[in-house]
Amino acid sequence: MRVYQDNTAAISDNKGDGKRRSASSPFFIRRWFCLLCLLGLSVIAQPPASLSRDLTADNRPKHPHVQSTERLSRPEQSLAQRLLMETNRARSKEGLAPLTTSHGLEVIARTHSRNMCEAGELKHESEKYPVGWRTFAERMKRMGYLSGAENLAYRTYSGRPEDWARSVVAGWLDSPQHRKNLLDPTHRYVGIGVFVCRNGVAFATQVFSPGGVSAK
């Protein structure tokens, strides 16, 4: 089985400090699954073109149609819960407090996972997404959040939520920048959204924030 992952995205409410937003370097790791990560992304300063190496043509989902997913049993809630369990288990091993779910962050995560499925691509930014939801910064601003970070991944779902979630989180932990987001002690809240496409590919979005209540 293969797990494909996107790079991370982050925004900060620090202003006037002259610092660039966080960025990571590309890498490739092969263990018992294949992991594909993209170039690092600064959602504030860098254009969407920085994500041009999203997926290879052979591995990109083949135009999954959202309307057809109604034929499936809709396991998204179970998959999201499993991701939360695995995420908090990893944090517990590092002596960190568990993350609490936030409705606003969940709206962002669920919407983005669905948009990625509709577009058939794994990206933080795309002109294919609806206006107001095209970048991580736009999505966070739309819901009133000032800072946060985002992890993305997709993997074929074969009917075993625990195995799917375990491998996705393991992949995130193997990536330095994904791991940093997942184990960041300043992150207190999380929103997790999963959307399963017609072809069985499940897109996952994990959105973190220091505050669980938006600024709206």
Averaged over 57-76, what is the pLDDT? Answer: 43
The predicted structure's pLDDT at residue 43:
24
Per-residue pLDDT band at 128 (split at 50, 70, 90): confident
Residues 163-209 have pLDDT tens digits of 999 999 999 999 999 999 999 999 999 999 999 999 999 999 999 99
Per-residue pLDDT band at 131 (split at 50, 70, 90): confident
Question: For residue 99, is it within any domain?
Answer: yes
Decide if 44 contacts 149 (C-beta within 8 A). no
Sequence letter at residue 46: Q
DSSP secondary structure letters along the chain:
--EEE---EEE----SS-PPPP-----EEESSSEEE------TTTS-GGGG--S--TTTS-----GGGGGGS---HHHHHHHHHHHHHHHHHHTTPPPPEE-HHHHHHHHHHHHHHHHHT---S--TTSPTT-SSHHHHHHHTT---EEEEEEEEE--S-HHHHHHHHHHHHHHSHHHHHHHT-TT--EEEEEEEE-TTSEEEEEEEEES-SS---
Averaged over 58-78, what is the pLDDT? Answer: 49
Question: For residue 156, is it within any domain?
Answer: yes
CATH number at residue 100: 3.40.33.10
Question: For residue 57, is it within any domain?
Answer: yes
Residues 1-48 have pLDDT tens digits of 444 445 566 655 544 444 434 333 332 222 323 333 332 222 222 222
Question: For residue 33, is it within any domain?
Answer: yes
Question: For residue 152, is it within any domain?
Answer: yes
Q: What mean pLDDT is reported for the chain? A: 73
Q: What's the domain count of the chain?
A: 1
Question: For residue 174, is it within any domain?
Answer: yes
CA distance 153 to 83: 11
The predicted structure's pLDDT at residue 86:
98
Question: For residue 85, is it within any domain?
Answer: yes
Q: Write down the residue that tokens 């517990």 correspond to.
A: 92
What domain range includes position 44? 3-209
Question: For residue 215, is it within any domain?
Answer: no
